């Protein structure tokens, strides 16, 4: 059978959207089918991403014209290495999180909103898939809006006071960010007449000198717009509340994937749409670099003093998104590869840590870090996985966190910036200072049997974090294929 894989990206997005809107109906009439439907769509997403990755790896990247309309008029999807890399990351982590979430959500959510939750989740996934594959700025904006709104709704789905507060804050800031992105897109459209990234890249060098103000304003708006959405340092203010308030599987997805998709969109816009010489003249990447360094230090320092484990993880995410932007803004081969690698690695680590925290909250109700003494004896596998994640965050070799740090540090040194290495190492030490005490207290903090009441942990939750923990170790010891793939990705971009 000759399966024409070129239609697959559109099918993914369309199918996820369809499933999303079917979900409430199904949930209303056939409650038991709702969960299998969401799992099936996510599994389809993951499998077809895997298939696409294999196909692109084998046949090379391809472009797809939506409805057969060629680019200047139609929407173009570009399925290059970057797109399949992102698709695979999002789909696999998304699948794991929702498989885990089925148990956790029944526990944490009201019965009648569960169907809506699935809708929102699939919408979010569809929009992330869309952002990954689209090659059209306006189309990208549309998906960005969809994902922002569905993420907001996911945060507020618990309907508690802090959830609604957090999601309101997120909604307003992210709407402002969307506005910035739209304005920037308009600025580019105004001078080039194109929205297609490839065409922009062709036309911009010619018109750049005529309309410098448009270029500058669009750059500024893009930085701030995507900065807000990806929680780059001074614009991160919405993140801790939002990611703490959401249910654990959502936190895992929001922290592990959603902020990354905007970073990836940032990469697409800045390195694919704008001509490279622009960054030699305009220090916009320097600004981003500076902000990301601040993010790394600030996130780690503030995470040190948090009492709530999810809040600590959220602050840690701010630091980690700093790594991603650090890699992108350095614009070297190895540095960008490091940033992309960190998208993948951090997606695994952080979602695993959030899911592990979710298990802890699920089975003991403990959220405060200082109450976690002796948890390692009671929940050995969960805390073992948490330990792996913590070690990976610190960057102990043998975990994938080390590989990211290695790539980023060497990328920085390639460009003659040893100070970045100091920042990376310092942040590793800070990570050690706030992750290790949790692990140590959990395993060695209590003499004898700890007095904790532990509920039963569903196997599916445990297996999903163990799977992620295994992934962390696996990609820490054997990252070679991934690195080779990223090498291809980066060569195609730069």
Partner 1 sequence: MNLAAVTAGETARIYHIWPVILPLIPLAGGILVFALGRLSKRIYPLLSFLVTLVTLLSTAGLYPLVKQGDLYCQLPKFMAVGLSFRVDLLSFIFALLVSLAWCVVTLFSLPYMRQEKYSLTYFVFLLFTLAGNLGVMVTGDWVTFFLFFELMTVASYVLVIQNRTDEAMHAGMYTLVLGIAGGLVLLGGVFLLHSLAGHVQISPMMLALQGVPAWSLATILICFMVGFGIKAGMIPLHVWMPRAYGASPAIVNAFSSGAMVKAGIYGIIRIVLLVFTPADMAAKEAFHFAASAGYVIIWLGLITMVFGALMALLQNHAMRLLSYSSISQMGYIIVAIGSAAYLFGLEEAMGFSGAVFHAINHTLYKVSFFLIFAIIFYHTGEYRLDRLGGLWRKFPLLMVFFLLSFGAISGLPLLNGYASKTLIHDALLEAHHYYHTFDIYLAERLFVLGSAFTFCYYAKLFYCTFLGPLPEKYNVNYHTSFLMYLPLALLAAGIILLGIWPNIFIENYLLPAASQFQFYRGGIEHLTGFHFFSEAPLNASATIFLLAVLLALIGFRFRFFWWKPPANLSVEKIVLQPVVSFLYRMLTHLGPKTDNAINSFYYKIASDFLALCRVVGQMDSSLDSFYENSSRKAYQIVEKSRNLEDSLVDAYDRSSKGAYQLIERGQLVDESLNEAYDLSSMKAYRLMEKSRQLDESLNSAYESSGRAAKNIYDKTAKMDNALNMAYERSGKAAKELIVPGKDSTQTSKRKSKVSSSFKINPMEWNIKNLNFDTLLLAIMLGIVFFVLFFFR
Enumerate binding residues for partner 1 (CB under 8 A). 165, 168-169, 172-173, 176-177, 180, 212, 216-217, 219-221, 223-224, 227-228, 234-235, 237-238, 281-284, 287, 298, 301-305, 391, 394-398, 402-403, 406-407, 409-410, 413-414, 418, 421-422, 425, 428-430, 432-433, 436-437, 440, 444, 447, 476-480, 483
The neighbouring-strand residues paired with 77 are: 64, 134
Nearer to partner 1, 21 or 290 (CB): 290
DSSP 17: H
Instruction: Assign 346 to helix, strand or coil.
Output: helix
Nearer to partner 1, 51 or 470 (CB): 470
Residue 254 · residue 184 · CB < 8 Å: no
Nearer to partner 1, 84 or 303 (CB): 303
Give which of 336, 320, 382 is closest to 356, Cα–Cα.
Answer: 382
Nearer to partner 1, 221 or 328 (CB): 221
Using CA atoms, how far apart are residues 324 and 226, in angstroms rounded to an integer? Answer: 13
Q: Would you report the helix, strand and coil content of the chain in percent, each value rounded to 5?
A: 80, 5, 15
Nearer to partner 1, 219 or 343 (CB): 219
Q: How far is the CB of 378 from partner 1 (least distance, A)?
A: 15
Nearer to partner 1, 27 or 141 (CB): 141
Q: How far is the CB of 187 from partner 1 (least distance, A)?
A: 12
Q: How far is the CB of 398 from partner 1 (least distance, A)?
A: 6
Length of the chain equals 494
Q: How far is the CB of 201 from partner 1 (least distance, A)?
A: 20
Using CA atoms, how far apart are residues 294 and 299, in angstroms rounded to an integer? Answer: 8
Q: How far is the CB of 167 from partner 1 (least distance, A)?
A: 11
Give the tokens for residue 424.
């990376």
Which DSSP helix (H) or strand (E) runs through 385? helix 380-394
Nearer to partner 1, 186 or 440 (CB): 440
Q: How far is the CB of 133 from partner 1 (least distance, A)?
A: 29
Q: How far is the CB of 185 from partner 1 (least distance, A)?
A: 16
Using CA atoms, how far apart are residues 35 and 22, in angstroms rounded to an integer? Answer: 12
Using CA atoms, how far apart are residues 215 and 375, in angstroms rounded to an integer? Answer: 54
User: How buried is 59 (Cβ within 10 angstroms: 0-12 exposed, 13-18 middle, 19+ buried)?
Assistant: exposed
């Amino acid at each position: 059978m000759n399966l024409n894989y070129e239609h697959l990206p559109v099918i993914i997005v369309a199918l996820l959207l369809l499933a999303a809107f079917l979900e409430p109906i199904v949930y209303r009439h056939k409650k038991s089918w709702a969960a299998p439907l969401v799992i099936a769509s996510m599994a389809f997403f993951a499998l077809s991403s895997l298939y696409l990755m294999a196909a692109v790896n084998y046949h090379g990247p391809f472009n797809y014209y939506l409805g057969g309309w060629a680019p200047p008029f139609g929407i173009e999807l570009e399925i290059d290495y970057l797109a399949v890399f992102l698709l695979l990351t999002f789909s696999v982590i998304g699948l794991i999180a929702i498989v885990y979430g089925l148990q956790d959500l029944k526990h944490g959510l009201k019965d009648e909103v569960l169907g809506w939750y699935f809708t929102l989740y699939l919408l979010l996934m569809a929009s992330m898939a869309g952002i990954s594959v689209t090659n059209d700025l306006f189309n990208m904006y549309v998906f960005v809006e969809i994902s922002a709104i569905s993420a907001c709704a996911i945060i507020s789905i618990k309907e508690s006071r802090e959830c609604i507060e957090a999601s309101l804050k997120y909604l307003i800031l992210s709407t402002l960010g969307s506005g910035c992105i739209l304005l920037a897109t308009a600025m580019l459209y105004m001078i080039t007449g194109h929205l297609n990234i490839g065409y922009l890249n062709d036309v911009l060098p010619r018109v750049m000198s005529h309309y410098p103000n448009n270029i500058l304003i669009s750059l500024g708006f893009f930085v701030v717009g995507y900065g807000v959405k990806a929680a780059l340092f001074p614009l991160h203010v919405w993140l801790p509340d939002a990611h703490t308030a959401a249910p654990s599987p959502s936190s895992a997805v929001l922290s592990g994937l959603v902020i990354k998709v905007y970073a990836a969109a940032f990469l697409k816009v800045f390195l694919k749409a704008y001509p490279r010489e622009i960054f030699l003249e305009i220090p916009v990447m320097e600004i981003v670099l500076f902000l990301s360094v601040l993010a790394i230090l600030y996130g780690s320092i503030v995470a040190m003093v948090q009492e709530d484990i999810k809040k600590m993880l959220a602050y840690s995410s701010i630091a980690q998104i700093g790594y991603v932007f650090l890699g992108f803004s350095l614009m070297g081969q190895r540095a960008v590869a490091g940033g992309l690698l960190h998208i993948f690695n951090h997606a695994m680590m952080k979602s695993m840590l959030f899911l592990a925290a979710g298990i802890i909250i699920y089975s003991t109700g403990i959220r405060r870090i200082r109450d976690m003494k002796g948890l390692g004896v009671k929940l050995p596998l969960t805390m073992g996985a948490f330990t792996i994640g913590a070690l990976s965050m610190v960057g102990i070799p043998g975990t994938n966190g080390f590989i990211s740090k290695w790539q980023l540090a060497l990328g920085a040194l390639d460009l003659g910036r040893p100070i970045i290495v100091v920042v990376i190492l310092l942040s590793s030490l800070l990570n050690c200072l706030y992750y290790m005490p949790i692990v140590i207290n959990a395993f060695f903090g209590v003499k004898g049997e700890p007095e904790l009441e532990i509920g039963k942990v569903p196997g599916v939750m445990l297996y999903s974090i163990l799977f992620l923990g295994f992934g962390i170790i696996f990609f820490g010891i054997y990252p070679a294929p991934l690195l080779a793939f990223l090498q291809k990705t980066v060569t195609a971009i730069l």
